[in-house]
Amino acid sequence: MKKLASFFSIFALFLVLIMPQNAAAASTYSAGASSPSTIYAYSLNQWSEDGFWDLRNINSIPDTAVVTAAKLNWSICTSCGMTYNTTSVGLFVQNGSGDWMDSGFYNYNFDGQPVKQIWFTSFKSTKFNSFGYIQPNLTILWEDSASAKSGSFMLSESPNGILVDKDSLVEKQGVTLVNLEEE
């Protein structure tokens, strides 16, 4: 009997923990890491190298999916003399339009942009020693009016450098990163 009771308590706890996430899943979606994962700057007050995400071939997202919001999280090189207050980071879509970002906050100014395209980020800093770098992670909220589908995907770099969709373990797919300059 005790076992049965503890099973139901665990099940209830599971529901409490899971249900709010499911409720939010209709409109809240998730993220990934750039290629290269560390982007460097060697001059103050100039743009750094770019970090790319090529989301064109993610099969688990419909072609017609649009962004609701985009979130960028980044860590900085504090040992390089960088601070968060003196580092400004931009996120851009492949046509070049973008926004300055706040680390860890969703930016709804990307709402309506197609998800399946190349995204890139770059930063400028007013303070570092001989060089500085950041390590950015991208999260995208998306929805698709055509299929009425929405959801989350988490991209992370696998050891072989290929981005992997963590949410669809069955249909795990690789995304080859293409540098825009090489095209």
Partner 1 sequence: MTVIVNSIGNLGWVANFQTNQSFHPFKIEEGEGEIDSKKAEIEASRKEYAEIIQSSNAIYKGATPTQLVNKQTNSINIVAGVYYNLGTVNGKPLNGTSLASGGFNSNFSPKIWKIPGSSIVTPEQEAALKMRQSYSLPERQEANELVAVFMSFSRLAEGKKSVDSMNDDAMFMQHFPKFAKGIGLDLSQPFTINGKSFTYSQGALHTIDTED
Interface contacts to partner 1, rule CB under 8 A: 23-24, 26-28, 43, 45-47, 50, 52, 66-69, 88, 90, 92, 95-100, 102, 105-114, 120, 122, 124, 143, 145, 148, 150, 180-181
Is the Cβ–Cβ distance between 46 and 124 less than 8 Å?
A: yes
CA dist 4 and 163 (Å) reads 42
Q: Which is nearer to partner 1, 9 or 145 (CB)?
A: 145
Is 6 exposed, middle or buried, given 0-12, 13-18 or 19+ CB atoms closer than 10 A? Answer: exposed
CA dist 24 and 143 (Å) reads 13
Q: Which is nearer to partner 1, 145 or 176 (CB)?
A: 145
Q: Cα-flanking dihedrals φ and ψ of residue 37, to 5°?
A: -75, -20
The minimum distance between CB 16 and partner 1, in angstroms, equals 17
The minimum distance between CB 7 and partner 1, in angstroms, equals 31
Q: Which is nearer to partner 1, 143 or 165 (CB)?
A: 143
The minimum distance between CB 149 and partner 1, in angstroms, equals 11
3-class state of residue 90 by DSSP: strand
